[in-house]
Structure 1
Amino acid sequence: MIQESVKRLLHHVNNEDNHTHQFPPSIYMVPSILRDLSPSSFNPQLVSIGPLHREDENVKAFERQKISYLINLMSYINSPQEEILESCMQKAYSVMNKIKGCYIWTKAFTDSEIAEMMVMDACFMLGFMIEINPLLSENSYMGKQLQLGTIMHDLMLLENQIPLFFLDEMFQLTVMKLRSDISFIQLIKPVIVCNNLFEAELKFDNVSFGTSDHFLSLLHQCYMPPDNIKKDNSTKIIHSAIDLDRAGVIFKPSEDPTWVMGIEVKQNRFPCLFWYWNRPTVTMPVLSVDDSTEFLFRNLIAYEQSFQTQSYLSSYSFAMNMLVNTQDDVAKLVESKVLVNITGSNEEVANMLNNIGKNVTCVDSYYEQEWEILNKYCNGYWPNHIATMRRTYFSSPWSIIALVAGMILFVLQVLQTIFSIKSQRIE
């Protein structure tokens, strides 16, 4: 029995498929602990890319449309179509082990099935990006605008990727024959920019890609902090936005930030005895919240939680979860112009920001120094007491009315007392 078990284990060790992972697989099904919180955030709505959602019923209808993109891509290129497709297939077979090593497979496919799948999906993506790029095509987009947005979003799902290195190989064999002056990054940039979470412009200067990269990991790279941004253990808890506002904290949008997700606390360099002039200002990136915000956050965070990479999106979501407890916090951030709410409901935004961090482990924080400054300020005598007073007497219209009524009643009682004293003296 022991020998049989050893043989089975040795079979797994010596299995050729298990030696294709030169790098950790970067395209996989999201762990159920995150997936079950919002399955729709990880499932493609219209188009399947790669093997993981190939059998989904809702994406099968689009498979026929991929052929039209393949035909259009071939028609753009002034070369024999058979020759181009043959070179594409040869390239797919030559890098087959690298392709296999990028996935955690959920179903067995033959090499020929994988090669055809990769070439078809890559050609569809290239054809689609040519269609939406005005530099490459004078034709309008073939699909409807709703379909355009859905494809853009589907291309960013963690479970719906093909390796970027292979897409680049297909680019070299096809699009480069059409326009040699367009780089691969220039071609794919519109898809990445369309899925930007923030209003600040994404910078691609330091972006590079290797064997384990794909569209989602490229977007993740665009949010990478500079080397001088230090990370610490995530231990400090801060007040919500509305409580910070009551203590006198000011929120402002970041202007020309060095890091697109940077949060900075600025204080008066010359301390003043008067509380008003010592109020800190929190500069933040402008977060644009729409229907795609939740799925982008969830996919980026799932990528961080499962792949060997830094967790700066998880750190940012943890920070926003602390700042936002209720719709009042969202309203304050919208009023301060550090959050743009396109969904229309502050309550929905608050629920989304509170839920995207569930079951997420966030060990590293990139904002600990800022939180230390805010906590030190809020624990000061005047900010603490002023926040308490504003929370007690100015938290709602009714409390303000009650305070004003009480003050009027007090003044009337004082006046009545004065008149009573004067009348007694006259008598």
Structure 2
Amino acid sequence: MESERESGEVDDSTSMESVCIDTDGIVEELTNTIGAKLLNHSPLPASCCIFRVPHPIRRQKIQAYEPDIVSIGPLHRGRGGDQFQLMEKVKRWYLQCLLSEANITLANLITGVVDFNKRTPDCYAEPLDHINKKDFIEMMIIDGCFLIELFRKGFSVDQRDENDPVFNVSCMPQYLFHDLLLLENQLPWFVLERLYNLTAVKNTTSEGNAASLPDLVLNFFKQSVADDFIFKPCLNLPHEPLHILDLIRTWIVFPCKEEGLGCKRKVGNDDQQQSEERPPPQRVPNATTLSEAGIKFQKSFKTSDCIMNINFENGVFTIPPLGIDETTGPLFRNLIAFKQCCHSRPHKVTSYAVLMDNLIDSSKDIDLLCDMGILVNWLSPEDAARFFNELYNDTMVIGFYYEGLCNEVNKYYKTDWNKWMEKLRREHFGSPWAIISLVAAFILLVLTMLQTVYAIHQFYHPPK
């Protein structure tokens, strides 16, 4: 036995015997059971773009992720008693309006989208076993045509009916703004585009050009917010949007500079080594503290700037303006949740949330940025500060967009000379009276020195 162990030869009859012990059919039963549960494909294919908001993010503010008055797509279909009933009737009425105006039969409309029955379910990150093929096609047509007709009516006042509950009830557009930008309340963009093309009705822009689907969507959402600066139309979209929320994300981050302080990152074969040598991103102090250290804040006056094009140069923070109201929180929360789930979009909006949270700790910071015209705040200063402080909780940022900018800010902030100069300015040049007092003290000092010099001169050189 010892020789067998030394030579590495072990009689495995004992181990084989233990495997062959009567197991009462457990091995065969588990083989069949587990084998039946194995998957031949990924449960989350790359084509997924519409997700359930992850629980750690959802629990931060549940109402920011759930629809109030209208369900779009399958994820909230049939949920909630009477809250969706009115809009379900409006959907069917809008479909009839669209069919009448577009001069297309319902049969032709169904024929035009029936082939999407196989492609569309792959866009959703959870199984849609609860809805059959016929109901799914019906949902695509009714929900999609509702959106097309809604955006058309929003674009042209002449196409609105005097009995329309959407545009005759003043609160409806704001409710729809909230619901139509929820991550869980989306239809794939290619479905909307197909329906738009099938039901094409000539709408023209102010320049006389035919309005595209993005034009109609942009116009609707610009009318539903207190400050439409964040919705900057893109002359050329960098890629086809995945859905309406992704289109809004594109308007917010594009055109966004890809180089500069926000993106000082070398790319190469030694990328991993460089990332190990580079120190981790550091927080920057809040706006009030930076201001006390001599850093200035000013609003960007470039009308083409997206809100993410934040610059820092020669001690001056230049930040595009942002309006904050009750719709801003759900919008940014769903944009961040979308990026946390979707692999094909960079973490730009989340990076923006992180930087703004750095700059804003309290209502004092909100007041400072409002005074500079950077924030247009429709909330209380305390609620606005809380909005930024809680915006990206339970999320993560890969490739922080403002890493270089934060390093430059901290470098300037930690320079003692800048702090001394700002302290001097605040204490001695902060008001006209302080300046007058300083000038008077300086004149008095000069006169005193002249008198002293004259007395000394008289002592050593008395008049003859």
TM-score after normalising by structure 2: 0.73
User: Residues of 2 paired with 1:85 and 1:13: CA distance?
Assistant: 42
Equivalent runs, 1:15-30 vs 2, <5 Å: 23-30=46-53
Deviations 1:262-314 (A, max 9, x none): 111121xxxxxxxxxxxx11100111100111101100000111111200000
Whether 1:122 and 2:126 are equivalent positions in the alignment is no
Residue 114 of structure 2 aligns with which residue? 93
Residue 62 of structure 1 aligns with which residue? 87
1:155–1:206 CA distance, 2 compared to 1 (3 A) = same
Offset of 1:92 from its aligned partner? 3.1
Unaligned runs of 5+ in 1: 268-279, 395-427
What is the identity, as a one-letter code, of the residue corresponding to 1:56?
G
Q: Could you tell me which of 294, 298, 308 is aligned with 2:333?
A: 298
User: Residues of 2 paired with 1:390 and 1:32: CA distance?
Assistant: 50
Q: Could you tell me which of 219, 229, 235 is aligned with 1:190?
A: 219
Offset of 1:323 from its aligned partner? 0.3
User: Residues of 2 paired with 1:201 and 1:128: CA distance?
Assistant: 19
Whether 1:206 and 2:230 are equivalent positions in the alignment is no
1:3–1:209 CA distance, 2 compared to 1 (3 A) = farther
User: Residues of 2 paired with 1:235 and 1:105: CA distance?
Assistant: 35
What is the identity, as a one-letter code, of the residue corresponding to 2:397?
C
What is the identity, as a one-letter code, of the residue corresponding to 2:351?
S
Q: Could you tell me which of 397, 400, 417 is aligned with 1:365?
A: 400
Offset of 1:138 from its aligned partner? 6.1
8 Å Cα contact 1:254-1:283 kept in structure 2: yes
- Aligned-residue CA RMSD in angstroms? 3.0
User: Residues of 2 paired with 1:333 and 1:252: CA distance?
Assistant: 8
8 Å Cα contact 2:257-2:309 kept in structure 1: no
1:118–1:31 CA distance, 2 compared to 1 (3 A) = same
8 Å Cα contact 2:123-2:188 kept in structure 1: yes
User: Residues of 2 paired with 1:20 and 1:375: CA distance?
Assistant: 44
What is the identity, as a one-letter code, of the residue corresponding to 1:341?
N
Offset of 1:209 from its aligned partner? 5.2
User: Residues of 2 paired with 1:209 and 1:56: CA distance?
Assistant: 35
1:8–1:166 CA distance, 2 compared to 1 (3 A) = farther
Helix, strand or coil: the match of 1:62?
A: helix
Whether 1:152 and 2:177 are equivalent positions in the alignment is yes
Residue 335 of structure 1 aligns with which residue? 371
Q: Quick one: percent identity of the two aligned structures?
A: 25
User: Residues of 1 paired with 2:197 and 2:158: CA distance?
Assistant: 15
8 Å Cα contact 1:253-1:286 kept in structure 2: yes
User: Residues of 1 paired with 2:35 and 2:396: CA distance?
Assistant: 35
Deviations 1:364-417 (A, max 9, x none): 2222222222211211123335678999x99xxxxxxxxxxxxxxxxxxxxxxx
1:360–1:7 CA distance, 2 compared to 1 (3 A) = same
Residue 417 of structure 1 aligns with which residue? none
Q: Could you tell me which of 409, 413, 416 is aligned with 1:381?
A: 416
Residue 410 of structure 1 aligns with which residue? none
Residue 226 of structure 1 aligns with which residue? 257
Q: Could you tell me which of 79, 102, 109 is aligned with 1:77?
A: 102
8 Å Cα contact 1:254-1:286 kept in structure 2: yes
Q: Could you tell me which of 49, 73, 98 is aligned with 1:50?
A: 73
Q: Could you tell me which of 337, 356, 362 is aligned with 1:326?
A: 362
TM-score after normalising by structure 1: 0.79
User: Residues of 1 paired with 2:203 and 2:372: CA distance?
Assistant: 48
User: Residues of 2 paired with 1:5 and 1:92: CA distance?
Assistant: 43
User: Residues of 2 paired with 1:390 and 1:177: CA distance?
Assistant: 61
Residue 263 of structure 1 aligns with which residue? 310
What is the identity, as a one-letter code, of the residue corresponding to 2:392?
G
8 Å Cα contact 1:226-1:259 kept in structure 2: no
Deviations 1:71-123 (A, max 9, x none): 211221234xxxx3222222333111111001123652100111101100011
User: Residues of 2 paired with 1:184 and 1:215: CA distance?
Assistant: 10
8 Å Cα contact 1:200-1:285 kept in structure 2: no
1:200–1:160 CA distance, 2 compared to 1 (3 A) = closer
